[in-house]
């Protein structure tokens, strides 16, 4: 409960002033200028009013005391107001028997709020008083002129007052704040969903990359193992080839040693032959010495050789024979030793016969000298032939050695050529097999690449379909939520309007009484009651406000078939609690023809022709009666109430049209009205929605609720179908992802096999080219060796 108000420097209260509010005080009264409004302004200001205009000022500093010229009071630099409430019952959420709320503002523009002397926020003050009826716009503070506003308040404004009185506004404020937080949370969840979806997409990509990396690692390890095995196999093959080459080298070395031994044997033979030749030379010198001795003997025995001349002649024949033998010995050096021995034998015989023929030899000394010269020439020839023989033997040895080397080289070349041919044949088979395998792998690679591309395209199409389905589902979900919200809002508004209709809110007490009697006891004068004007006409919701503005209180008029109710009121038989308007259909029918005749005589032309011209004017929307529907006899009622009434766009158009078409009534979209006599009603209406508007809105809401219910049910069905489609798309997408991953794995493995087969094929090709080069080189060496041997 309000206990007191303390002011200091606030508007006209320069000094500290305290107002006590004991029990029973509800109104502050006083003459003009006494400060009543300042007290209300102070209460609103201390409770958090932020509008300087609402406090009858242009800025917040205007609430500070500005000084007084008469008394010489200086302006204050601060304004302060404190409102005190009793809190013994603990209504306010503060553990104190009294609650002091203070607001202070300085001329510099700074300000502060305090609760029981402690600084706080404006929000804390609003939260403290929310739901208690205390506030700047609450019903607890009713300033001058606001009573009429409360009485003419619309249903929405009254609802706010009732909610504040019952304490609901606090929970609604909390609901709004909570809704804001929920909206922020929903936005955050939406963003999180987008992030999660993006992260899931990236996660699937990373998983695929990780799977590829693992497979690549496995394949790399397998490739390293295979390369190790291939290297080991090549090493073993090369080792075997090296062993074979070493064996060939050992054979060649043994053959070389054999050739060397034969060459040594030939040299030994040649040495022996040289020794034999030297021996022959020694024997030849000995023979020459013997011949010299014989010559001396011949000289001694020349005198005694006459008897032996005959024998000497024979010896000459023998010498000639010996000469021929010596000549033949020169041609065959190998038999020289034997011939020399024969000569020595014959010389021995000659010695034995020397004594007998010495005398004869003396006479033949000249011939002997000639024989000596011939012997010298024979010795020279022998030496020459010996030198030639040595040269030929040496040439023969060199040729023999070259021939042996050439034979060895030819054998090696033949073996190398044979080995190369064998290995080339084997390589040709391996190359053919490798080429076949490589071709198969390439075909598999192309097939898998094509299949993988198709799978990726299918996966991308499936993902696109999934995104489209998901977007459709989300859009349908948002549509469903929007439909539900719209249905809830429309349903709540419809319930409110139905409640107002049930309680006949907005009707005068007299009209309520007449309608109650007509509903409860339809006898006597109440039997003629058909209802209110608003009950008997139907207006489109877009034009209901304009019809309300035109008809005004006529919408509450009671429509009767006769005049019994009017007579009952006139005679005092029935006295309503409030004012009641009556319209008799019987009277309308009588006046209808007279009104038409009078209208035509006043205007000077038929109403139809004038209406046709007016309908063509710019700014004209249409005849008001065209937007109103009524059943049977009530069409005349609508025509009578809206006679010569037109709906236009703006007040400017209405003023212009009324000048050209007087005795007409015009209503604008903003509910401005120019009456038949030219009187203008403009500006916003103080009261809430009219009865016609309320009835039209209620009918529209009922139709809208049916449509929303059908749309919501259809949206539920569509959403379920889309959800099922999304689930199916998810399953198909997962299957497509698995298929694409499997094909990618197979493609990667196939590419590795293809690369390995290509490397093996290239290696075999390189080995083939190397062997062909080696074989060609061996053939060239063999041809050269054959040419050298032929020489």
In this predicted structure, what is the pLDDT of residue 603? 44
Q: Are 100 and 140 in contact (CB under 8 A)?
A: no
Cα separation, 3 vs 16, in Å, equals 17
How distant, in Å, are the alpha carbons of 58, 97, 174, 586 from that of 127? Answer: 28, 18, 9, 61
Q: Do domains 2-144 and 418-791 have the same CATH topology?
A: no
What is 2-144's CATH topology?
A: Rossmann fold (3.40.50)
Q: Are 692 and 534 in contact (CB under 8 A)?
A: yes
In this predicted structure, what is the pLDDT of residue 342? 58
Cα separation, 11 vs 719, in Å, equals 63
User: What's the number of CA atoms in the CB half-sphere (13 Å) around residue 595?
Assistant: 13
User: What's the number of CA atoms in the CB half-sphere (13 Å) around residue 649?
Assistant: 8
Cα separation, 743 vs 449, in Å, equals 8
DSSP secondary structure code for residue 59 in this structure: S
Least confident of 52-66, 90-104, 131-145, 772-786: 131-145
In this predicted structure, what is the pLDDT of residue 336? 45
- Where residue 139 falls among pLDDT bands split at 50, 70, 90? low
Cα separation, 307 vs 303, in Å, equals 10
In this predicted structure, what is the pLDDT of residue 216? 84
Least confident of 93-97, 135-139, 489-493: 135-139
Question: What's the mean per-residue pLDDT of the chain?
Answer: 77
Choosing among 1.10.1300, 1.25.40, 3.40.1350, 1.20.920, the CATH entry for 418-791 is 1.20.920
**45 Cβ contact partners less than 8 Å away, ≥ 6 residues apart:** 10, 55, 63, 81, 103
Cα separation, 64 vs 10, in Å, equals 5
Pairing relation of β-strands 582-584 and 558-560?
A: parallel
Best CA proximity match to 59, nearest among 70, 67, 51: 51
Whether the pLDDT of residue 591 is over 80: the answer is no
Best CA proximity match to 634, nearest among 587, 585, 695, 582: 585
Cα separation, 273 vs 280, in Å, equals 10
Q: Which residue has better confidence, 344 or 83?
A: 83
Q: Which residue has better confidence, 74 or 119?
A: 119
SS3 content of the chain, % helix, strand, coil (to 5): 70, 10, 20
In this predicted structure, what is the pLDDT of residue 787? 73
pLDDT digits (tens, 9 = 90+) for 486-538: 888 888 888 888 887 787 777 888 888 888 888 887 777 888 888 888 888 88
Q: Are 581 and 556 in contact (CB under 8 A)?
A: yes
- How many Å separate Cα 456 from the centre of its chain? 15
- In 606-664, at which residue ranges do the beta strands (DSSP E only) sit? 620-623, 628-630, 645-648
Q: Are 164 and 133 in contact (CB under 8 A)?
A: yes
Least confident of 107-116, 285-294, 558-567: 285-294
What does the block give as tokens for 746? 């197979």
CB burial readout 500-535, b (16+ within 10 A) else e: bbeeebbbbebbbbbbebbeeeeeebbebbbebbbb
- Where residue 421 falls among pLDDT bands split at 50, 70, 90? confident
* Three state DSSP letters for 703-719: HHHHHHHHHHHHHHHHH
Residue with tokens 């007509």: 518
pLDDT digits (tens, 9 = 90+) for 731-770: 888 888 888 788 778 878 888 888 887 888 888 788 888 8
**348 Cβ contact partners less than 8 Å away, ≥ 6 residues apart:** none
The answer, as to whether pTM is greater than 0.95, is: no
The domain limits of the chain are 2-144, 272-417, 418-791
CB burial readout 680-701, b (16+ within 10 A) else e: eeeeeeeebbbbbbbbbbbbbb
In this predicted structure, what is the pLDDT of residue 113? 92
Query: What number is the average pLDDT over the span 299-321?
Result: 58
Give the count of beta carbons closer than 10 Å to the beta carbon of residue 117. 8
Residue with tokens 């009858």: 56
pLDDT digits (tens, 9 = 90+) for 49-70: 887 777 777 777 788 888 776 5
Cα separation, 754 vs 762, in Å, equals 12
Cα separation, 114 vs 104, in Å, equals 8
Percent of the chain clearing pLDDT 90 (strictly above): 3
What does the block give as tokens for 673? 């009205």
Give the count of beta carbons closer than 10 Å to the beta carbon of residue 99. 19
Q: Are 565 and 528 in contact (CB under 8 A)?
A: yes
Cα separation, 541 vs 696, in Å, equals 5
What does the block give as tokens for 313? 């002649």
Whether the pLDDT of residue 97 is over 60: the answer is yes
- In 450-588, at which residue ranges do the beta strands (DSSP E only) sit? 529-532, 537-539, 558-560, 582-584
Cα separation, 78 vs 63, in Å, equals 9
Query: What number is the average pLDDT over the span 96-113?
Result: 89
Q: Which residue has better confidence, 178 or 376?
A: 178
- How many Å separate Cα 690 from the centre of its chain? 58
In this predicted structure, what is the pLDDT of residue 647? 92
pLDDT digits (tens, 9 = 90+) for 632-661: 778 888 888 888 899 998 888 888 888 888
In this predicted structure, what is the pLDDT of residue 333? 46
Q: Are 722 and 471 in contact (CB under 8 A)?
A: no
Pairing relation of β-strands 111-115 and 98-106?
A: antiparallel
Whether the pLDDT of residue 790 is over 80: the answer is no
- How many Å separate Cα 4 from the centre of its chain? 68
pLDDT digits (tens, 9 = 90+) for 596-637: 555 544 444 456 677 788 878 888 888 888 888 888 778 888
């Amino acid at each position: 409960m309000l206990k007191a108000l303390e002011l200091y420097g606030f508007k006209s209260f320069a000094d500290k002033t305290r107002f006590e509010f004991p029990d029973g005080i509800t109104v502050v009264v006083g003459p003009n200028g006494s400060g009543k409004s300042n007290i209300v302004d102070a209460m609103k200001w201390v409770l958090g009013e932020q509008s300087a205009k609402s406090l009858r000022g242009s800025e917040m500093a205007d609430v500070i005391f500005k000084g007084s010229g008469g008394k010489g009071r200086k302006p204050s630099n601060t304004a302060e107001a404190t409102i005190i409430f009793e809190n013994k019952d603990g209504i306010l959420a503060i553990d104190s028997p009294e609650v002091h709320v203070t607001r202070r503002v300085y001329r510099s523009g700074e300000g502060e709020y305090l609760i029981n002397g402690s600084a706080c926020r404006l929000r804390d003050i609003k939260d403290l008083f929310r739901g208690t009826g205390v506030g700047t716009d609450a019903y607890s503070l009713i300033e001058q002129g606001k009573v009429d506003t409360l009485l003419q308040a619309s249903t929405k404004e009254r609802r706010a007052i009732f909610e504040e009185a019952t304490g609901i506004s606090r929970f609604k404020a909390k609901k709004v704040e909570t809704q804001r937080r929920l909206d922020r949370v929903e936005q955050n969840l939406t963003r999180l969903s987008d992030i999660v979806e993006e992260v899931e997409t990236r996660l699937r990509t990373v998983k695929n990359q990780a799977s590829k990396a693992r497979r690549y690692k496995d394949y790399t390890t397998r490739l390293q193992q295979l390369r190790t095995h291939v290297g080991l196999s090549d090493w073993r093959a090369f080792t075997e080839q090296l062993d074979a080459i070493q064996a060939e080298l050992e054979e060649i070395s043994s053959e070389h040693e054999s050739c060397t031994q034969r060459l040594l044997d030939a040299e030994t033979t040649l040495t022996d032959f040289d020794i034999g030749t030297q021996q022959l030379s020694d024997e030849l010198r000995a023979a020459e010495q013997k011949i010299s001795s014989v010559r001396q003997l011949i000289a001694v025995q020349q005198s005694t050789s006459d008897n032996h001349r005959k024998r000497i002649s024979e010896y000459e024949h023998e010498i000639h024979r010996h000469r021929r033998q010596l000549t033949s010995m020169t041609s065959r050096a190998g038999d020289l030793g034997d011939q020399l021995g024969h000569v020595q034998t014959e010389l021995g015989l000659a010695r034995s016969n020397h004594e007998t023929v010495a005398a004869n030899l003396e006479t033949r000394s000249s011939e002997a000298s000639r024989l000596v010269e011939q012997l010298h020439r024979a010795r020279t020839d022998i030496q020459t032939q010996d030198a030639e023989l040595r040269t030929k033997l040496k040439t023969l040895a060199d040729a023999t050695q070259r021939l042996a080397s050439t034979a060895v080289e030819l054998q090696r070349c033949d073996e190398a050529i044979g080995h190369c041919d064998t290995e080339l044949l084997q390589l040709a088979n391996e190359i053919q097999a490798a080429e076949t395998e490589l071709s198969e792998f390439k075909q598999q690679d192309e097939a898998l690449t094509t299949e993988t591309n198709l799978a990726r395209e299918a996966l991308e199409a499936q993902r696109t379909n999934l995104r489209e389905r998901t977007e459709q589902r989300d859009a349908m979900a948002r549509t469903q939520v929007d439909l539900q919200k719209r249905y809830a809002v429309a349903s709540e508004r419809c319930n409110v309007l139905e409640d107002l209709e049930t309680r006949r809110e907005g009707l005068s007490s007299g009209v309520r009484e007449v309608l109650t009697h007509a509903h409860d006891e339809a006898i006597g004068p109440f039997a003629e009651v058909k209802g209110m004007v608003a009950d008997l006409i139907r207006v489109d919701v877009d034009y209901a406000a304009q019809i309300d503005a035109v008809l005004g209180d006529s919408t509450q008029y009671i429509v009767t078939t006769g005049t019994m109710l009017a007579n009952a009121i006139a005679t005092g038989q029935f006295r309503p609690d409030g004012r009641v308007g009556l319209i008799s259909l019987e009277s309308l029918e009588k006046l209808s023809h007279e009104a038409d005749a009078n209208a035509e005589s006043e205007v000077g032309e038929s109403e139809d022709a004038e209406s046709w011209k007016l309908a063509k004017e710019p700014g004209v929307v249409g005849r008001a009666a065209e937007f109103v529907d009524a059943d049977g006899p009530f069409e005349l009622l609508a025509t009578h109430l809206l006679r010569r009434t037109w709906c236009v766009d703006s007040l400017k158009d209405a003023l212009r049209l009324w000048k050209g078409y007087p005795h007409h009534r015009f209503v604008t979209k903003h509910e401005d009205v120019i009456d038949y006599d030219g009187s203008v009603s403009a500006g916003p209406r103080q009261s809430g929605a009219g009865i016609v508007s309320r009835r039209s809105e209620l009918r529209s809401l009922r139709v809208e609720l049916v449509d929303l219910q059908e749309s919501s049910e259809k949206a539920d069905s569509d959403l379920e179908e889309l959800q099922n489609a999304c689930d199916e798309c998810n399953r198909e997408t997962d299957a497509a992802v698995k298929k694409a991953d499997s094909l990618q794995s197979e493609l990667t493995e196939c590419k590795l096999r293809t690369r390995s087969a290509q490397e093996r094929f290239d290696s075999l090709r390189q080995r083939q080219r190397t062997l062909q080069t080696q074989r060609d080189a061996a053939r060239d060496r063999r041809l050269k060796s054959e040419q050298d041997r032929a020489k």
